[in-house]
A and B are shown apart, each in its own frame.
Chain A
Amino acid sequence: MAGVGDTEKWYQSLKDRANFLLVYIEEAHPGNSVNGRQVFAHESDKDRQELAELCTSSRNLTLPTLLDNLDNAVEIAYAAFPDRIYVLDSNGVVRHKTKPGPRGWDVAEPRAALDQLLKAGSAERR
């Protein structure tokens, strides 16, 4: 996951004004080693949960984390593999969609999109 440190800072700075959800999906590079541990494709819900916990704890991520089901239905619906960010407005409409990671995006773009949404929302309430 690219830019995870920035993602956590982003969450911490705006968690009261927007919902943030990390959706843990299938491994982008099954067979690779991370921090000395070889990580394989998930073969059970338990595998996915264990690796999600390892990923978030080792990277100090405190965002609310969801587990996609093993059929990868949500990942497929969002074309989210290997990683990707969507920003939705308060009505659930997609307002920003990054290119797929890991080099297709950085947090700056979706962050700017969210700032714009929050600014527009503040203006509407006035």
Chain B
Amino acid sequence: MRLILTFITIVMLTAFAVCSLVPQKMAAQTTPTVAQQARPRETPFKTAKEFDAVDVAAIRKARDQWISAFNSGNAVPVEFMFTSDAVFSLPVHASLPAGDSLASAREVFARFNARLAFDEPSEQFVTDGGDPRKISKLPWVSYYAAYTLTLTPKSGGDVIRSRGQFMTRFHRQRDGSLKVIRGPRVGDRASEFTLNFMKRDGKVQLSSLRGKPTVLIFGSYT
């Protein structure tokens, strides 16, 4: 009898040991490394609920300021809030020349009564590395939302309506406010920089290239 009990005990202990080992082995295969855990790979697009409420409020305030500026039909506050980018070129692409925002805004407001609105439920936010918690520390955020733009010609004619997805890049200012970023305009001296070559075999300082025209092409793989 004792022999049988000993045998059963050994079998049970062995079974327990095997059962204990299997999950550990599986866990060892599936648990990410520390490095992987520290650098989560995820989509950078976040909804408002995934951002800090204070930051969302600040971004919406900046957005509302320039929508208000745009809808006022006055180019000056538009110039103050944002510059050159595609907001003016999207809906009336064929009929407006490329140029800085002030010229484009003046032309739009001279020719049209313009109304712009965003669909807040569609909005998404992107900041560096896909970590929404970083937004308070970082100087920029990209804001995506569906927009509706209506341009009513002042001189009569067909109303132009445009709908789509729009991206705005806000840059945090020294006073903490957010404004759409501005690059150097035609006629400005290009901002100085010193950057490494891709192979890290040297650096170049932009101003050292003077004497010949220079073409700067910005882009990425995606």
Q: List the interface of chain A (C-beta within 8 A of B).
A: 1, 4, 7, 10-11, 17-32, 34, 39-43, 49, 51-56, 63-69, 72-101, 104, 109-110, 114, 117-118, 121
Taking a contact as CB atoms closer than 8 A, the residue among B191, B200, B213 that contacts A19 in the complex is B213
Taking a contact as CB atoms closer than 8 A, the residue among A1, A76, A88, A100 that contacts B213 in the complex is A88
Q: Are A66 and B213 in contact (CB under 8 A)?
A: no
Q: Are B186 and A99 in contact (CB under 8 A)?
A: no
Q: List the interface of chain B (C-beta within 8 A of A).
A: 39, 41, 43-45, 83-86, 89, 98, 128-130, 139-140, 142, 169, 171, 181-191, 193, 195-198, 200, 204, 206-207, 209-222
Taking a contact as CB atoms closer than 8 A, the residue among A40, A53, A77, A95 that contacts B198 in the complex is A53
Cα(A29)–Cα(B124), bound, Å:
13
Q: Are B200 and A49 in contact (CB under 8 A)?
A: yes
Q: Are A90 and B210 in contact (CB under 8 A)?
A: yes
Kindly report which residue of chain B lies nearest to residue A65, judged by CB atoms. Answer: B198
Taking a contact as CB atoms closer than 8 A, the residue among B83, B197, B216 that contacts A79 in the complex is B83
Q: Are A63 and B217 in contact (CB under 8 A)?
A: yes
With contacts A101-B219, A114-B215 taken as known, whether A77 is within 8 angstroms of B196 at the C-beta atoms is no
Cα(A55)–Cα(B218), bound, Å:
13
Which of A25, A76, A117 has the most chain B CB atoms closer than 10 A to its own CB?
A76
Taking a contact as CB atoms closer than 8 A, the residue among B89, B130, B204 that contacts A66 in the complex is B204
With contacts A52-B198, A66-B196, A79-B181 taken as known, whether A86 is within 8 angstroms of B221 at the C-beta atoms is no
